[in-house]
Amino acid sequence: MAQQLQQLPPGSPQSAGAVPRAKANSFSALLHRSPRLRLAGLLTAPALWLVLVYVAALAALLITAFWTVDTFTGEVSTEWTTENIVTVLTDPVYQRITLRTVWIAVAVTVIDMILALPIAFFIAKVAPARWEKLLVVAVLMPLWASYLVKAYAWRNVLSEGGLLEWLGAPIGLSSPGYGETAVIVTLSYIWLPYMILPIYAGFDRVPDSLLEASGDLGAKPLTTMRLVMLPLLVPSIIAGTIFTFSLSLGDYITAQIVGGTTQMLGTVVYANVGAANNLPFAAAVSLVPIAIIMFYLFIVRRTGALNSL
Amino acid sequence: MRLSRSAKVVLGVITGLVLLFIYTPLLLVVVNSFNADRTFGWPPKGFTLEWWGKAFDSPGVRDAVVSSVWVALVSTIVSLVLGTLLAISLQRYEFFGRDVISLLVILPIALPGVVTGIALNNMFTTILGVPLSLWTVVIAHATFCMVTVFNNAIARLRRTSAGLEEASSDLGAGVFTTFGLVTFPQLRSALLAGGLLAFALSFDEIIVTTFTIGAGETTLPIWILQNLFRPNQAPVVNVVAVVLIVVSIVPIWLAQRLSGDSVGVSEARVKADGR
């Protein structure tokens, strides 16, 4: 706008009709003089959005967990109670579901770690340089395919008369069917790239010269791996576990698609929002994964893993 | 460290097997969308295009596609505006509370989708009393899509100097002219990449959507979830799944070429939760 005004000779007939532009110019000049006003203009909308939409929603969730539902009207009543929290923590049903969810998340994390270490090592340190980029893309691509489709794909693989039965038949193996095992396999599949990538980045950062020095000083490959590489890799591995662990902990779609009757914390949350219509209880249940993740982050924060996210 | 030849071969074979494990299920969905057998037993019994035709003729699928595209477009536009404003304020200005804001942006991706979903559902229905609709989905999607735009924009701003903007204003350009002629052209490809990622994220998001969508509305992922357990719809579900794979991967591929950096893990994390 300022530029357009400069092109007009002062006092020319056009400039007489350019009042709105002149106004914009003075507004622009005001902004130019005051960085604080500029910042306010930039920051107000996104900051309000984050605070009003997200922070307010999280705060409301915490508060709602202490409310209850009127059994007659089905409406949320704002009477304060710790009943929901107490039920979630002490009822054996929810204790079992919490334990099962944590067990699934741990199993998924361990499986992914075991699968990711050799492939990340191969891509970073063994594969020829021209393959390296290609392999990284090959790992990265499926990560972007829809999460829902991946869970659905496993429903196909594990189905009766499906691919897995056909593959397993000659060696006498059958599909585990839909259940807890299927959930673990599917979640390991879905989150595997999230484990491979940070570990690959970790291997990539270990300088080759360090490994050569270790070899020159007489260490066998396994010793080098244990004493040189592993300590340097710990933050990357933990970064990977944060992904796989917390993503599995909050899952319920996979449990719904391949889990059969398997219930996870997410399943309970979803059931209480929809069918059971007990939002305060759902809110109380959702505090469990939040607390577990916070606790896990608190433990691992000293390893510096949070910086490799 | 000198690995023996056999160790290298073993590692190569493991890598190959893991890649096979990664791609087989996705390929199976693609193959099954052409499988003549309704129950999708393996091996396939014959080739057919019938399911693709059925999917194109299905009004349910068509409506879901329209809703998905609309939600993804509006969320992308909102997140482009908010993400860009946020990136410029955090990168070019120093102010009290800057660290808090930069932590707030990544919060929607740091917490599991189920938490974001129930938090927003609770706020809309219990606290505000707003009926759920496609608009509430847009608000939810824009909140986490903002992060991808923000990440792309701030990475680009870090690489470009604020000196150009100062020069522009020293030469007499107003604040808006400087943005239009200096800042925006530098950001353009980063914003396009961020926008494409945001679109792909929103298009196949399922978890937060299930908590924030109005009764009777369907996006494509919701349509899949509703029809997944109906045996007579299974063939069409396969086709829709293939469409989702393609629609989510093509924008990512474009975004990677545009942004020049590989799409990082933390952005992938958005995708995961976003889910």
For B156-199, write each residue's pLDDT tens digit: 898 888 888 888 888 888 888 888 898 899 898 889 888 988 88
Judged by a CB distance cut-off of 8 A, whether residue A32 touches chain B is yes
CB contact under 8 A, B28 and A31: no
Contacts of A221 in chain B (CB under 8 A): 1-4, 7
Contacts of B21 in chain A (CB under 8 A): 115, 189
Min Cα distance B183 → chain A (Å) is 14
Say if residue A271's pLDDT is above 80. yes
In angstroms, the Cα distances linking A226 to A126, A210, A234, A300, B139 are 17, 13, 11, 21, 48
pLDDT means over runs of 10, chain B (275 residues):
80 90 88 78 76 84 92 96 93 85 77 88 88 93 90 87 87 87 89 88 88 90 88 83 81 72 50 45
- Residue A11 pLDDT grade (very low, low, confident, very high; cuts 50, 70, 90): very low
CB contact under 8 A, A61 and B176: no
CB contact under 8 A, B175 and A32: yes
H/E stretch holding A69:
strand A68-69
- Residue A285 pLDDT grade (very low, low, confident, very high; cuts 50, 70, 90): very high
CB contact under 8 A, A197 and B265: yes
What is the model's pLDDT at position A17? 45
What is the model's pLDDT at position B262? 46
Mean pLDDT of A200-228: 86
- The C-alpha atoms of residue B156 and residue A27 are separated, in whole angstroms, by 28
- Residue A4 pLDDT grade (very low, low, confident, very high; cuts 50, 70, 90): very low
What is the model's pLDDT at position A6? 44
CB contact under 8 A, B114 and A250: yes
CB contact under 8 A, B15 and A166: no
Judged by a CB distance cut-off of 8 A, whether residue A153 touches chain B is yes
The answer to whether the bond into A235 is cis (omega within 30° of 0) is: no
CB contact under 8 A, A149 and B26: yes
Among candidates A176, A281, B109, A90, which has minimal Cα distance to A98?
Answer: A90
Judged by a CB distance cut-off of 8 A, whether residue A245 touches chain B is no
CB contact under 8 A, A54 and B118: no
Min Cα distance A46 → chain B (Å) is 5
Min Cα distance A215 → chain B (Å) is 5
Judged by a CB distance cut-off of 8 A, whether residue A48 touches chain B is no
Among candidates A190, A193, A200, which has minimal Cα distance to A236?
Answer: A200
- The C-alpha atoms of residue A105 and residue A242 are separated, in whole angstroms, by 10
Q: Which of A62, A156, A186, A298 to mutate to test the interface with B (most CBs of B within 10 A)?
A: A156
User: Which one of A6, A45, A273 has the shortest CB-CB distance to B121?
Assistant: A273
What does the DSSP assignment read for A7-31? HSPTT-HHHHT-HHHHHHHHHHHHH
3-state percent breakdown (helix, strand, coil) of chain B, nearest 5: 80, 0, 20
User: Which one of B19, B29, B114 has the shortest CB-CB distance to A266?
Assistant: B114
The structure's pTM equals: 0.81
CB contact under 8 A, A39 and B43: no
Contacts of B37 in chain A (CB under 8 A): none
Judged by a CB distance cut-off of 8 A, whether residue A113 touches chain B is no
The tens digit of pLDDT for each residue in B77-110 reads 999 999 999 999 998 888 888 888 887 887 777 6
Mean pLDDT of A97-123: 94
Contacts of A165 in chain B (CB under 8 A): 42
The yes/no answer to whether this complex scores an ipTM above 0.90 is no
Contacts of B93 in chain A (CB under 8 A): 35, 38-39, 42-43
Contacts of B252 in chain A (CB under 8 A): 141, 144
The tens digit of pLDDT for each residue in A147-198 reads 888 888 898 888 877 788 787 777 777 778 788 999 999 999 998 988 988 8
Q: In a 10 Å sphere around its CB, with 0-12 CB exposed, 13-18 middle and 19+ buried, how is residue A16 labelled? A: exposed
Min Cα distance A95 → chain B (Å) is 19
What is the model's pLDDT at position B51? 82
H/E stretch holding A77:
strand A76-77
3-state percent breakdown (helix, strand, coil) of chain A, nearest 5: 80, 0, 20
- The C-alpha atoms of residue A162 and residue A135 are separated, in whole angstroms, by 29
User: What are phi and psi for residue B35, nearest 5 degrees?
Assistant: -80, 125
Say if residue A112's pLDDT is above 90. yes
What is the model's pLDDT at position A188? 94
Contacts of A166 in chain B (CB under 8 A): 41-43
